[in-house]
Structure 1
Amino acid sequence: MAKTILYPVTPVIFCRSLATIVYSISAICRSGWNNRSISPCCADSTTTDICNLAMTQSDYTIRKAKWPEERELLRQVREPVFVEEQGVPQAMEWDDDDMMAYHLLALDQAQRPIATARLLGNGQIGRMAVLPEWRNQGIGTALLLTLIQHADSIGLQSLFLHAQTSAEAFYAKAGFTADGDHFMEAGIEHQKMVLSFNQDMAEELFLAQLGKTPELFHLHTVEDHQAHATCMLRQAKRHLSIFTQTLDPQIFDTPPFVDAVKQLATRSRFSRIRILLQDNTLVVQQGHQLVELAQRLSTAIEIRIPGDEYMDYEENFILVDELGYLHRKQAVNLIGTACYNDRYRANRMQTIFNEAWEFGTPDRELARLHL
């Protein structure tokens, strides 16, 4: 079957905190549209690896839809999905916002409508729908990133949407974060999610390839650490080593980072993730998603207390495949560096880590936690 180039998506998708930024842009560190898609209205509940996003070929195209001239084409998707499948009242499905919205339409090779989405002038994304037979083929991801690209091109500083709760993980992968509590809309539980743009960070991450990019990146904020940690980890093949004072939740307890750890842990039976934690007080008091994941995947993820000689060691670092690293001279100071291809320095830090690990002990207090 002949293939059609997907509506071009350039690497200008940028988010807010590292928990968000990496899933949309750093993800473009690799190529290939994701092979999963949103289900009606929002997304499916599966975890989507947005770190593999970019332009590719497919059996469909995405383009802007004209309103009201192409209302019928939009109707052929929205009514079967929202009205018939989900029971949304028809009066709620069509509103005055359609007149001023930026509409997207996905078409198959026969130019039949298969998916829709829209963006309002206030930055709200909505009416994302994919016909059942076209789900799980990356169309939802393509629609979402195309809207994000358009929003950035017209100068919007932020976006928001009302995600069905089953789709929260999907939107989190694209950089959206939850805002407020769950609420009911059209009889379905939803969560408001928001996304803010950071183009400088996005461009920086676009250049960062594990084992290839020798440039030194300077880190100053939590967002810097979040973004590079997740971007680098998304490219890992086998190993992750973390030497940390507190397992800072702003960096390590974010959905993108935890999901990246999970993907590495389950990628191969040779995957090995080791964490040296100097002070577990915060984790014990507040809980931690990464610790919970380690309990579930204990064959791949292990947490230890470092040997006595390293309990007061001031430097914190993350090592990925002994190729890339993030490093801070002082755990209490966010000033640091990241490099995606410095085997010499990474090996030096790995030697320190291995020694602290060898004389370390399992953290039994964490093992007893029921998070």
Structure 2
Amino acid sequence: MSAAAPFRVAIVTDAGDLAAAHAVRTAVFVDEQGVPAALERDALDALSRHVLATDADGRPIGAGRLAPDGRIGRLAVRSDWRGRGVGEAMLRALLDAARDAGLRDTYLHAQLQAMALYARAGFVAEGARYEEAGIAHRTMRRVAGATFPVDDLAAALDTTVTLIAAARRTLWLRTRDLDPDLYDHPDVLAAFRRAATGRRRVQVQVLLQDPSTAQRRGSALLALSQRLSSAFAFRAVEDPVDREFAGAFLVNDVGGFHVRPLGHRVDGEAATDLPGRARQLAQQFAPVWERSRACSEFRALGI
């Protein structure tokens, strides 16, 4: 339990706790959100593993479940406990249960307002928005200990948002000219803003191959970094060997990355849970950063 917000999360092991979990779900989904009761309960309940969150006095405050196919769902927190870490704790417990069951691939149908919670845990959105029980959702997926392909701009955007959201302290970005189609996208800029101004205060180190193009074009990411100058640092590569590097990548400090073999394209491979590979990329970044020059031309803009 936490001293600031005392609660406990545990796997459901008896009928009483399962009934308590159902009561939380009914309060949140049926009573609060208007989901029909017949849709909230289904045949998967009997086959799933459930978690229950309780407060210091043992009162139920949250619930969730993991289906046999790796789908995490029915994640519900009572309104007076939201924003206090209950959802994150239950999600971690469900991911631990998935790992113990040998499920590498987990997914969920996320209500749009909850997507940031799942992105912080390494889930990447995929596909278009859709409605379930009259509420807008997107599917999100997390692949543990493996890479997945990034084939187009939409997938690159969703992957980038998750990598930024999941970072704890540091992001390392190597790019030719700040890739406007990718890093100037509103969703990506919003993710950078949240990371830089949130509780974690993430620091972003950016290595540029072609800073003049980024400056001339008027990058939206540069404009954001001007307002958040304590969070962003820019350097330009000068070593002839470094300048021959053709690729690009974004790496975070929790095992996530998006690697692009050709820096002018968005396709490549990514992962959200491969710490060893992510450390290798960060270690590859570090010496190039040290021998590159600070972008004084950006400081002229107040950056």
TM above 0.5: yes
Other-structure match for 1:175: 122
Residue 143 (1) aligns with residue 71 (2): no
Q: Are residues 155 and 251 of structure 1, via their aligned partners in 2, closer, same or farther at CA, if it must alter by over 3 Å?
A: farther
Change over 3 Å in CA distance of 1:296–1:86 after alignment to 2 = same
CA spacing shift, 1:267–1:101, aligned 2, 3 Å: closer
CA distance in 2 between counterparts of 1:198 and 1:257 reads: 27
* Structure 1 residues 87 and 340, CA gap change in structure 2 (3 angstroms): same
Residues 1:195 and 2:125 aligned together: no
**What does residue 264 of structure 1 align with?**
196
> Does the CA-based 8 Å contact 1:305-1:362 persist in structure 2?
no
Q: Which amino acid aligns with 1:353?
A: R
CA distance in 1, matches of 2:192, 2:79: 28
Q: State the identity %.
A: 29
Selected match of 2:227 from 291, 294, 299: 299
Q: Which amino acid aligns with 2:120?
A: K
Counterpart in 2 of 1:313? 243
**Alignment pair present for 1:278 and 2:210:** yes
* 1:71-110 matched pairs, under 5 angstroms: 71-110=18-57
* Correspondence 1:322-333 to 2 at 5 A: none
**Aligned-residue offset at 1:244:** 3.1
Instruction: Letter of the 1:244 partner, please give it.
Output: T
1:99/1:84 CA distance change after superposition, 3 Å: same
CA positional deviation for 1:170: 1.8
Q: Determine if contact 1:262/1:293 at 8 Å carries over to the other structure.
A: no
Bigger mean CA offset, 295-304 vs 110-119 = 295-304
> When the two structures are aligned, how many residues end up with a matched partner?
261
Determine the structure 2 residue equivalent to 1:339: 283
Question: TM-score, with normalisation over the residues of structure 1?
Answer: 0.54
Amino acid at match of 1:245: R
Deviation at 1:196, TM superposition (A): 0.9
Shift, 1:247, TM fit: 4.0
Q: 1:151 to 1:249 in 2, by over 3 A?
A: farther
**Counterpart of 1:134?**
81
Q: CA distance change for structure 1 residues 350 and 262 in 2, over 3 Å: closer, same or farther?
A: farther
> In 1, distance between residues paired with 2:110 and 2:75?
10
Cα distance in 2 for partners of 1:96, 1:121 equals 12
Q: Which runs of 5+ in 1 are unaligned?
A: 6-55, 201-221, 321-325, 364-371
Q: 1:64 to 1:231 in 2, by over 3 A?
A: closer
TM-score (normalizing by structure 2): 0.65
Q: CA deviation at 1:249?
A: 8.6
Name 2:254's counterpart in structure 1.
none
Give the equivalent residue in structure 2 for 1:353: 293
Aligned to 1:235: 169
Whether contact under 8 Å (1:165, 1:191) holds in the other structure is yes
Report the residue type matching 1:186 in the other structure.
A
Calculate the aligned-residue CA RMSD, in Å: 5.1
Pair 1:135–1:358, CA change in 2 (3 A): closer
After alignment, is 248-257 or 83-92 more displaced?
248-257
Shift of 1:96: 1.2
- 2:150 counterpart residue number: none
Greater Cα shift, 191-200 or 293-302: 293-302
Q: Secondary structure at the match of 2:128?
A: coil
Q: Contact between 2:8 and 2:55, CA under 8 Å: does it hold in 1? A: yes
Instruction: Give the 5 Å matches for 1:112-131.
Output: 112-131=59-78
**Structure 1 residue 153: deviation in Å?**
1.3
Q: Structure 1, residues 273-330: CA drift from partner, whole Å, max 9, x if none?
A: 6663518989x99x9xxx43433442335899969998x9225899x9xxxxx9x9x9
State the alpha-carbon separation in 1 of the partners of residues 297 and 71 from structure 2. 53
Normalized per residue, the structure richer in strand is 2
Matched, 1:186 2:133: yes
By relative contact order (CA 8 Å, sep 6+), the higher-ranking structure is 1
Q: Deviations over 1:195-237 (max 9, x none)?
A: 111179xxxxxxxxxxxxxxxxxxxxx9xxx8xx96997425x
Alignment counterpart, residue 244 of structure 1, candidates 175, 192, 197: 175
Deviation (angstroms), 1:338: 2.9
For residues 40-55 of structure 1, the aligned pairs below 5 Å read: none
